[in-house]
């Protein structure tokens, strides 16, 4: 059959909020271009949303609007269900039911796939349907496609990404304006950049969902969000951003996954990044992902990680893929997680204590003889090598006549368990006057 003679593929949306309306609008606006690529039309013929009146004003008369998502799943004419509800509760149930009903699924729901991906992908493989999730990681950036297809010649060695726009906006504002976290968070909420409940963003959970998915696709391992180390940005002080800058670094919340001889690193935490790296200059709510492959070297993907049409761009790319492959033999399709399901590896995720990285330390110390010697003595005894030391004059830090100062130390690489031991010993010194700040440092060379 010639592609142009195929009837349009039928899509049902579950939820028509910011992303759903973007999908609807972009599909309408770019209908001709999209059809030329897909080889057939892509039509949204049904929408489920609890607010049916609002949904009807968005999609017009030609689209059937219902309140019950299960009516979409039960409709035999629907080929693809697009899940835009979010969360792990009802969304999981509906996705599994859609798969069971033989529908392909497109979702932007990273939380759902990070926590229940193994179950969902297995169900889809059994049923011979596709579950596509380009929009789940870094919004409009085609990073899933790149990992799954564009980089398939490579042994991927590491990925490091700014994959949460809210926290990158907050960190950019803290640096630009010299403000503290709480002040900027309030501003971000007022401007609508941060959610009313920003917990998943600021605590690093959203980034961990996304990096867990990328890790699975990079290394051919199951999605292991439950094993990720997660640390958010709530403890960062404006002074650390300032000191990092003086040392030639910016602080970014990175999602990192790396293959080492001992296992896979999977971690989200604030990181010092050399200011000269392109990724250090990704500002505001933008996202960027670096991927290092043995053949290609280091690559960088940049763009909007959220928003109505950027996310719709990713959702529609998945719809086009499915429209092209709908009639293909299921065994010939690109595997959900890049590697064939029977070729997955069980390489373990390393405990954080075994991770090797370098560190920024800030110690509030009494400005008296011998303090620096004691601190560096502890590091030397544990064979932790110092890369740089910065000490401000006490007056500059604590005001005129102050008897305390900040001591900043950058270390070379060492294993995290050793650094934890050094921190415990330094913290116990009577001349160390406040909890020590420790931020990991990534050269990303």
What residues are labeled active site?
210
CA nearest neighbour of 214 among 144, 298, 309: 144
**Rounded Cα–Cα distance for residues 390 and 243 (Å):** 8
- 166 alpha carbon, distance to own chain's centre: 11
In whole angstroms, the minimum distance from the beta carbon of 25 to ligand HSE comes to 19
In whole angstroms, the minimum distance from the beta carbon of 242 to ligand HSE comes to 24
Residue whose CB is less far from ligand HSE, 318 or 367: 318
CA nearest neighbour of 161 among 288, 258, 259, 257: 288
Residue whose CB is less far from ligand HSE, 16 or 141: 141
* Helix/strand/coil for 121: helix
188 touches 167 (CB < 8 A): no
Residue whose CB is less far from ligand HSE, 255 or 293: 255
CA 240 → CA 43, 198, 397, distances in Å? Answer: 51, 22, 13
In whole angstroms, the minimum distance from the beta carbon of 291 to ligand HSE comes to 19
Residue whose CB is less far from ligand HSE, 286 or 379: 286
**Rounded Cα–Cα distance for residues 248 and 239 (Å):** 14
Residues in the chain: 445
| Residue corresponding to tokens 């195929």 | 6
Q: Which residues bind ligand HSE (CB under 6 A)?
A: 164-166, 201, 206, 305-306
Bridge partners, 438 (sequence order) = 361
Residue whose CB is less far from ligand HSE, 106 or 365: 106
266 touches 259 (CB < 8 A): no
Residue whose CB is less far from ligand HSE, 206 or 406: 206
In whole angstroms, the minimum distance from the beta carbon of 188 to ligand HSE comes to 10
Give the up-direction half-sphere exposure of residue 117: CA atoms within 13 A in the CB hemisphere: 28
In whole angstroms, the minimum distance from the beta carbon of 311 to ligand HSE comes to 8
Q: At what angle do helices 18-29 and 308-325 cross, to 10 degrees?
A: 60
**Rounded Cα–Cα distance for residues 14 and 91 (Å):** 9
Q: At what angle do helices 90-100 and 110-127 cross, to 10 degrees?
A: 20
């Amino acid at each position: 059959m010639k592609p142009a003679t195929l009837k349009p593929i039928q899509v049902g949306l579950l939820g028509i909020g910011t992303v759903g309306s973007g999908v609807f609008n972009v599909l309408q606006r770019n209908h001709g271009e999209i059809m030329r690529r897909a080889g057939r039309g892509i039509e949204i013929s049904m929408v489920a949303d609890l607010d049916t009146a609002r949904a009807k004003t968005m999609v017009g008369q030609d689209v059937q609007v219902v309140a019950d998502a299960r009516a979409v799943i039960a409709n035999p004419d629907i080929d693809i269900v697009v899940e835009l509800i979010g969360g792990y509760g009802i969304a999981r149930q509906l996705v599994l039911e859609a798969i069971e009903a033989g529908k392909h699924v497109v979702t932007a729901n990273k939380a759902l796939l990070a926590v229940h991906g193994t179950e969902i992908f297995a169900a889809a493989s059994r049923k011979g349907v596709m579950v596509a999730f380009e929009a789940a990681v870094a919004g409009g950036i085609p990073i899933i496609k790149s990992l799954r297809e564009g980089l398939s010649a490579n042994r991927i060695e590491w990925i490091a990404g700014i994959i949460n726009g809210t926290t990158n906006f907050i960190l950019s504002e803290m640096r630009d304006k010299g403000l503290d976290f709480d002040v900027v968070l309030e501003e971000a909420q007022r401007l609508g950049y941060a959610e009313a409940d920003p917990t998943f963003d600021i605590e690093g959970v959203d980034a961990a969902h996304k990096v867990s998915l990328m890790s699975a696709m990079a290394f051919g391992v199951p999605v292991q969000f439950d094993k990720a180390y997660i640390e958010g940005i709530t403890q960062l002080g404006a002074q650390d951003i300032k000191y990092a800058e003086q040392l030639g670094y910016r602080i970014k919340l990175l999602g990192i996954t790396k293959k080492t001889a001992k296992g896979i690193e999977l971690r989200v935490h604030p990181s010092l990044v050399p200011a000269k790296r392109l990724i250090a200059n990704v500002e505001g709510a933008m996202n960027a992902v670096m991927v290092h492959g043995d053949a290609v070297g280091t690559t960088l993907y940049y763009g909007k990680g959220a928003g109505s049409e950027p996310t719709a761009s990713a959702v529609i790319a998945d719809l086009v893929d499915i429209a092209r492959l709908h009639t293909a033999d299921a065994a010939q399709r690109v595997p959900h997680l890049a590697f064939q399901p029977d070729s997955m590896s069980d390489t373990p995720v390393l405990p954080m204590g075994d991770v090797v990285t370098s560190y920024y330390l800030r110690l509030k110390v009494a400005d008296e003889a011998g303090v620096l010697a004691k601190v560096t003595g502890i590091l030397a005894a544990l064979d932790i090598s110092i890369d740089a030391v910065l000490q401000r004059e006490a007056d500059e830090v604590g005001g005129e006549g102050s008897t305390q100062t900040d001591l900043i130390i950058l270390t070379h690489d060492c294993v995290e368990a050793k650094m934890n031991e050094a921190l415990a010993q330094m913290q116990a010194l009577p001349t160390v006057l406040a909890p020590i700040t420790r931020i990991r440092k990534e050269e990303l060379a």
